[in-house]
Amino acid sequence: MASAPGNYATLATLLLACFALAPTEGSTQQPPPVSHQHPAFSCDDVPAGAPRPAYGCFNIARVEELTLRDSVVYWFLYTFPTRSEAEAARTPTGVVVEEEGKVWLNELGRVAPRAQAGTLVARVGPLVLSPAPTYTAIYSYAVMLPGQRSRVHTHPGPEGWYVLAGEQCLETSVGVFRGRAGETVVVPGNVPMELYITGSTLRRALVVVVHDSRQPRGTPSAWIPPGACRQ
Which pairing describes strands 43-45 and 56-66: parallel, antiparallel, or unpaired? parallel
Q: Give the Å distances, CA to CA, from 42 to 16, 29, 45, 70, 224.
A: 43, 29, 10, 29, 17
- CA–CA separation, 8 and 3 (whole Å): 9
Name the E strands within the chain. 43-45, 56-66, 72-80, 95-99, 102-109, 119-128, 135-144, 153-154, 159-165, 167-172, 175-180, 184-187, 193-198, 203-212, 219-220
Task: Give pLDDT, residue 227.
Answer: 95
Q: Structural domains in the chain?
A: 33-230 (2.60.120.10)
Task: Give pLDDT, residue 169.
Answer: 98
Q: Which long-range contacts (CB under 8 A, 24 or more apart) does 82-89 make?
A: 85/117, 85/118, 86/118, 88/117, 89/113, 89/114, 89/115, 89/116, 89/117, 89/118
Task: Give pLDDT, residue 38.
Answer: 60
Q: Is 169 in contact with 229 (CB distance < 8 Å)?
A: yes
Task: Show pLDDT as tens, one digit a residue, over the chain (231 residues).
Answer: 444 444 433 333 333 333 333 333 333 333 333 443 567 888 988 877 788 899 999 999 999 999 998 999 999 999 999 999 999 999 999 999 999 999 999 999 999 988 778 999 999 999 999 999 999 999 999 999 999 999 999 999 999 999 999 999 999 999 999 999 999 999 999 999 999 999 999 999 999 999 999 999 999 999 999 999 998
- CA–CA separation, 133 and 161 (whole Å): 25
The neighbour count for residue 16, using CB atoms within 10 Å, is 10
Task: Give pLDDT, residue 122.
Answer: 97
The amino acid that residue 158 corresponds to is P
Task: Please return the burial class of 97, using the count of CB atoms within 10 Å of its CB with bins 0-12, 13-18 and 19+.
Answer: middle
DSSP string, 58-121: EEEEEEEEE--S-SEEEEEEEEESSHHHHHHH--TT-EEEEETTEEEEEEEESSPPP-TTSEEE
Q: Is 189 in contact with 218 (CB distance < 8 Å)?
A: no
Task: Give pLDDT, residue 137.
Answer: 98
